[in-house]
Structure 1
Amino acid sequence: MKRVADLLKQGLKAHDQGDLDTAAQAYRAALELDPDSASAHNNLGFLLSQRQQWQPALLHLRSAIALDPHSSMAHCNLGQVLIALQQVQDGMHHIEQAVAEDPHNPIAWDALARFKVLLGDFTNGEYAAQRAIGLQPQSSPLHVRLGIAQAAQKRYQEALRSYQTALSLDDRNAEAWAQYGITCFLSNNFGDARQALHNALHLNPADANALRHLALTELSLGHQEQAMAYLKQIVDQVPGDDDARIELAVLHLSRHETEQAQQLLDQVQDAHRDSSRYRFYLALSKQQGRSFDESQAILATLAQGADAYARKARQMLQQVH
């Protein structure tokens, strides 16, 4: 089956170069010659997951595991697809199986670290990141992963050192600069935060998270106009970023620019009509627009809740009465 090995090699080369069409053709050709090639099923399944073609990806990855139950990478890839499909428990089981099958697989440890942190299990996320680094100490992204786990536990100085290590290995790592800047912001070091976030955006101008934290940094420094410009950039670049729209609306309200704020709130109405945050700022917008009865009605309904916005609503109602 040398031909299958050659096709897999061609597919991997194209895949590494980002030529997904050529890679897919090679993997499919390998499967035509050998339908029982676990490697071809795994590689094609991973490629399809990159294209968010979830169901075909699942089919190939499950086939890979059926053919090779001990394949660490197939378990890792399947786990990530299942999590993308909101099947988190099953997905985590497969990622944990991936590290059990091959404790020397840094990709599996990194995936475990990433999802543990996303699920709020920061201690085990940090442990998994450390295991990955132990296997690939020169990998800049792995040190970023460790820093994220440390920052999530509010150990900011340790996180900053991890990001510095990442940048010493690759000073063009945009995510390392972004996370360094975010952690500086959380540490109230606004000067270094601003510089690091600018570096991140120079390397990756589409990073909405870096833009948002740069806006927050400028706001903390009292530069409201610049903060609004960055938030508007997010709104323009990421049509689905409702948080940026609400944050920009809040700044417009603080400047009594009621019409601009209302336009932004109208854009998120369908998705956020039940959100106490949205309803509170909608009430403020109505109040500024002198629609007092509407504002009072929204606040009265909101005040029946138990969150921070409900408390703010009760305070506003008390001031009126």
Structure 2
Amino acid sequence: MEDPTMNAPATELELGVLRHLRGDLEGAEELYRVALAAEPENPVTLNNLGFVIAQSGRFAEAVTWYERALDLDADRAVAHLNLGNARAALGDLDGGIEELRRSAELAPDNATAFDNLGQLLLLAGRYAEAETTWTEAVRLAPGDPAPRTAWATVVAARGRLGEAVEILYQALALDDEYAPAWAQLGALLVVRGDLASGCDALSRAKTLAPADTDVRRHLAVALMSLGRRDEAAAELTELLRVDPAATEARVDLAVLHLAADRPSAALALLDRALEKAPDDDRALLHRGLALRELGRTSEADDVLRALAESGSAYSSRASELSEPDVR
């Protein structure tokens, strides 16, 4: 979004910006459209209208407004930035990368353009380019923990876990309440085998961002690895309260119930998970185990036999658990 020079009396464009800044997307869109009707070749209005439409999730429509803005002003860096993000949201990573590169060329001091470009390069698996891009974003915004945390993501993806941890500590030195850095630090520490420190970092992230379900799941996995099953179950239960559609977490909780000799509770969770994702082989495997624990041997064998013959990643384990005639 661009903020035009404010003059008195305020124009529809300026009033639209004010509503936009307050989070009133519908009101902002309405005013931008009024402004556009009065001045149909204003690239600021066209860009802002595209941006508010993109924020409403209508990315294909937003693209048309950004392109109109660029037809009028081909060097408008913010329109290239917004167009790149919209193209990426529509699944066109290459197109998004091209637009964001152009934005960065036109506004080489804009850390946001480099940060967003790094995100797309990471998604495209172009790790070396992503790292170079985020290094530049960090140079441009040395006091902002966000690009530094993103840089750590790609450093970790390239296998340099120790270096990534150090970068995250640098980000937290800038802002020790930046939840994404704590979350990523916790996940990396767990991967490196430092489960206790990883749990501490993830717990800190959870305190700062209690609605982040990914943090809760990573914390639950770390707690399970430490044998703290009741705490892990509590995290997963809360996660499912926040996000009832989190099928993977539902299966994790079922596994904990099985380990605690509660097959009925596990089966109820697994059946619900399979309603949402009927081809979830991990859920099917543990459903077979739950049925067997409940003495429903015939049903268990049917589930495990079908899974053993499916050729999935869990086939060999299902085969080991099946009746001898299917081995």
Cα distance in 1 for residues equivalent to 2:15 and 2:192: 48
1:111 paired to 2:140 = no
SS of structure 1 residue aligned to 2:314: helix
Task: Provide the C-alpha distance between the structure 2 equivalents of 1:87 and 1:190, rounded to a whole number of angstroms.
Answer: 38
Please report how far the alpha carbon of residue 141 of structure 1 lies from its aligned counterpart in structure 2 after TM superposition: 0.5
What does 1:1-321 correspond to in 2, within 5 Å? Answer: 11-12=16-17, 15-16=20-21, 18-20=23-25, 23-24=28-29, 27-317=32-322
Looking at structure 1, the residues matched to 105 and 324 of structure 2 have their Cα atoms a distance apart, in angstroms, of 61
Determine if contact 2:60/2:90 at 8 Å carries over to the other structure: no
The Cα shift of 1:177 comes to 1.4
* Deviation (angstroms), 1:206: 0.4
CA distance in 1, matches of 2:152, 2:310: 37
Q: Distance in 2 between matches of 1:11 and 1:176?
A: 34
Q: Distance in 2 between matches of 1:195 and 1:213?
A: 12
Tell me, in whole angstroms, the C-alpha distance in 2 between the residues paired with 1:170 and 1:206.
Answer: 20
- Stretch of structure 1 that moved more, 162-171 or 204-213: 162-171
Separation (CA, whole Å) in 1 of partners of 2:189 and 2:266: 30
- Tell me if the contact between 2:93 and 2:124 (Cα under 8 Å) persists in the aligned partners: no
Whole-Å Cα distance in 2 between the matches of residues 314 and 52 of structure 1? 45
CA contact (8 A) 1:72 1:105 kept: no
Structure 2 residue identity aligned to 1:53: R
CA distance in 2, matches of 1:16, 1:172: 24
- Structure 1 residue 20 displacement after superposition: 4.1
Q: Indicate the SS of the match to 1:281.
A: helix
Give the TM-score of the pair, scaled to structure 2.
0.87
- How far residue 204 of structure 1 moved from its aligned partner, in angstroms, is 1.3
Q: Distance in 2 between matches of 1:4 and 1:174?
A: 42
Greater displacement, 225-234 / 152-161: 152-161
Structure 1's 318 and 94: CA in aligned 2 closer, same or farther, altered over 3 A? Answer: farther
8 Å CA contact 2:138–2:147 kept in 1: the answer is yes
Contact 1:4 1:34 in 2 (8 A): no
List gaps (5 residues or longer) in structure 1: none
In 1: Cα distance, 2:173 partner to 2:17 partner: 29
Contact 1:70-1:101 at 8 Å conserved across structures? yes
Match in the other structure for 2:3: none
- Note the aligned Cα RMSD (angstroms): 2.7
Report % sequence identity. 31
Helix, strand or coil at the partner of 1:308: coil
Cα 1:231–1:124, aligned 2, differ >3 Å: closer, same or farther? same
Give aligned pairs, total: 321
Once the two structures are overlaid, the 10-residue window that deviates more, 14-23 or 139-148, is 14-23
Q: TM-score, normalised by structure 1?
A: 0.88
| Alpha-carbon distance in structure 1 between the residues aligned to 2:166 and 2:15 | 40
Query: Structure 1 81/239 Cα, relative in aligned 2: closer, same or farther at 3 Å?
Result: farther
Q: State the shift of 1:119 in Å.
A: 3.3
Q: Quick one: structure 1 residues 104 and 31, their matched pair in 2 at CA, closer, same or farther if it must change by over 3 Å?
A: same
In structure 2, what residue type is equivalent to 1:284? Answer: L
What is the identity, as a one-letter code, of the residue corresponding to 2:82? N
State the Cα distance separating 1:134 from its structure 2 match.
2.0
Gaps of 5+ in 2: 1-5
Find the residue that maps to 2:322 and give its secondary structure: helix
